[in-house]
Amino acid sequence: MGKEKSLNEKLSAAEMGKLWATYMGNSMSIQVLTYYLLHTDDSDIKKVLTDALHLSESMVKEIEKIFLQEEFPIPIGFGKEDVNLSAPRLFSDEFYLYYLKYTGKAGLSLYSIAVPIVIRQDVREFFSYCLNSTKNLLIEVNNVLNMKGLLIKAPTIPAPKKVKFIKEHNYLNGFLGDVRNLHCLEIAHLFDNIENDVTSKALLIGFSQIAKSEKVKDFFIKGRNITNRHIENCSKKLHKDHLPSPSLLDHLVSTTTYSPFSDKLMVFHKIDMFSMKVRSYANSISVNGRKDLATMYSRFLIDVSLFVEDGMNIMIDNNWMERPPETVDRDHLASDKFI
């Protein structure tokens, strides 16, 4: 009864926006994962990829159902025209696991924000399903990584012997004076950002090899260089305290220059994932207690924002960028009355 009633409620802007973003991202994922599955030898990795593909397909199908009920236009998103399944292998099998962890964390972020702001029962249940299913997929990915000896674990530090309080203002120092060692939350976010960025860099290396347009190729090379600089800066912070950092995954990219993906798909993919970096770096600032780290992440945010803007301009120039649902321009409507 409650669910039937919810279907009579109009979608809110939050519900429209989150459903639209989820549709776009997962319609892209279906094409990428379908291609990956054709170039997988390891049976354990193939199962995880299959589970991820089925999850993306189920999300897209459910959103289409909701949109059709609302007479909401189905986004074009991405389809078979954006993937060449006969293209040769671009990445090694183990890269797929790191890729699923990288993109799964982005999905988890999207769905966890959606759950508290969507109200309609069917939409709320849908995002709860997305959240729980993505969480389970990430657990599966970590289990397979661990089973194969590929899991990169965050550094360990000694447990404190007693509770301590911060009494000196130099606790915030980062550039001058007595600079304290990293605390556990700072370590966690440095590690997580490097883990994301080493996967992002490998993806950018692959995309830069296969892009058809020179402008798109230059865009990916710029993103690769930005990402490499971020990896180096974060790693230095860990290494200064004699802590390890995740290794690069560059060697997991093949030497092919034959593209399995459209330039449109690849540019959208990197805009989407760099947008996640904005949230990740901002989260890192929020738990940080040192001025040098805050300054570093602030610079990262500028790098990422400018890169995303470049990507958006490429999408717009090529008529690739679909517009998200927008509110009514009341000023324009008012001015039309006098035309």
- Per-residue pLDDT tens for 236-284? 999 999 999 999 999 999 999 999 999 999 999 999 999 889 999 999 9
pLDDT value, residue 96: 98
Q: How many Å apart are CA 24 and CA 82, to the nearest integer?
A: 13
Residue 145 and residue 97 in contact, taking contact as beta carbons nearer than 8 Å: yes
Q: Which of 287, 298, 204 is nearest to 253 (CA)?
A: 204
Tell me which DSSP letter residue 287 carries.
Answer: T
| Confidence at residue 338, expressed as pLDDT on a 0 to 100 scale | 47
Residue 235: both structure tokens together = 């790693």
Measured CA to CA in angstroms, residue 187 lies from 94, 125, 168, 244, 278 at distances of 25, 35, 21, 10, 18
Residue of 64, 67, 62, 57 lying closest to 26 (CA atoms):
57
CB-based contacts of 253: which residues, under 8 Å, 6+ apart?
90, 91, 92, 95, 202, 205, 206, 209
pLDDT tens by residue, 112-167: 999 999 999 999 999 999 999 999 999 999 999 999 999 989 999 999 999 989 88
Q: CA torsion sign, 10 to 12 to 15 to 17?
A: positive
Rounded to 5 degrees, what are φ and ψ at 168? Answer: -110, 140
Per-residue confidence (pLDDT) for residue 6, from 0 to 100: 55
User: How far is the C-alpha of 30 from the C-alpha of 26, rounded, in Å?
Assistant: 6
Q: Cα–Cα distance between 36 and 39 in angstroms, integer?
A: 5
Residue owning tokens 């530090």: 157
pTM above 0.85, yes or no: yes
Nearest to 83 by CA among 31, 134, 38: 31
What tokens were used for 47? Answer: 């199962």
Whole-angstrom distance, CA of residue 277 vs CA of residue 259? 26
- CA 172/CA 151 separation, integer angstroms: 33
- Average pLDDT score over the chain: 94
The tokens for 198 are: 């080493």
* 102: Cα within 13 Å, side-chain hemisphere: 26
- The residue written with tokens 């702001």 in the block is 117
**Which of the 8 DSSP states describes residue 156?**
P
What's the pLDDT tens digit per position in 214-230?
999 999 999 999 999 99
Q: Which domains does the chain have, with CATH numbers?
A: 9-147 (1.20.1260.10), 173-317 (1.20.1260.10)
Q: Which tokens belong to 234?
A: 């974060």
- Please state the φ and ψ torsions of residue 169, each to the nearest 5 degrees: -70, -15
